[in-house]
Homo-oligomer: A and B are copies of this chain.
Amino acid sequence: MNGHVRAVPLAKAYRLLNHGPTVLVTAVHEGRRGILAAAWNVAIDFDPPRVAVILAKDSYTRSLVEASGRFAINVPCAAQAETVMRVGSVSGHDLTTDKFSHFGLRAEPGITSDAPLLEGCVAWLECRLIDEPHNQEKYDLFIGEVTAAFADDRVFSDGRWHFEGHDALRTLHYIAGGEFLSTGPSIQVRL
């Protein structure tokens, strides 16, 4: 990780997802790592800090989340748009190595879990799976409690995103067909 990574207080972890970025979900089990792209993620609570993410039944990463009870949410930036598309273009089920090795992605284990934290992202949330079999089976909905959170302080500090002057670090918001929106100007409302 680079020298800009700072811990985010757990009560503020939801702010990392509040503006709706597309994320990369990672997990590891018995040495095999998985990573998938997920536009369908959401903060659902701040105390305790909880998030939810949709993991398709056929995804390899899902099987690792179920086996390990841990996952990480990595928030990628504009500089990683191609990486996000690449990891979404192939299934870990179809690879002989893991997807990190296959694509040459650098990552390291988290502090509270071994789920990989991808280098170059602008935020990371380490999560413990809250087992909810009905949601997982019926809706592919996985709920996690955030156990640690980090962000790149060039673009997130004091609980706020501030991307001005850092276009390559802006978060990605997926539309379709390989197209993302990055974040735009700030709008401040004072009532």
Interface residues of chain A, those whose CB is within 8 Å of chain B, are 14-15, 18-22, 39-45, 50, 52, 54, 78, 81-82, 84-86, 89, 134-135, 139-141, 143, 159-161, 163, 170, 172-191
Distance from A183 Cβ to chain B, minimum over Cβ atoms (Å): 5
Evaluate contact between A181 and B187: CB separation under 8 angstroms. Answer: yes
Evaluate contact between B184 and A182: CB separation under 8 angstroms. Answer: yes
Knowing A19-B175, A41-B42, A175-B19, the reply to whether A183 touches B181 (Cβ < 8 A) is yes
Q: Which residue of B85, B159, B173 contacts A183 across the interface (Cβ within 8 Å)? A: B173
Evaluate contact between A191 and B85: CB separation under 8 angstroms. Answer: yes
Nearest CB in chain B to that of A21: its residue: B20
Residue among A15, A52, A172, A177 with the most chain B CB within 10 A? A52
Evaluate contact between A176 and B15: CB separation under 8 angstroms. Answer: yes
Distance from A14 Cβ to chain B, minimum over Cβ atoms (Å): 8
Evaluate contact between A160 and B181: CB separation under 8 angstroms. Answer: no
C-alpha spacing A20/B40, complex, angstroms: 8
Knowing A18-B174, A21-B20, A40-B42, the reply to whether A179 touches B186 (Cβ < 8 A) is yes
Nearest CB in chain B to that of A158: its residue: B176
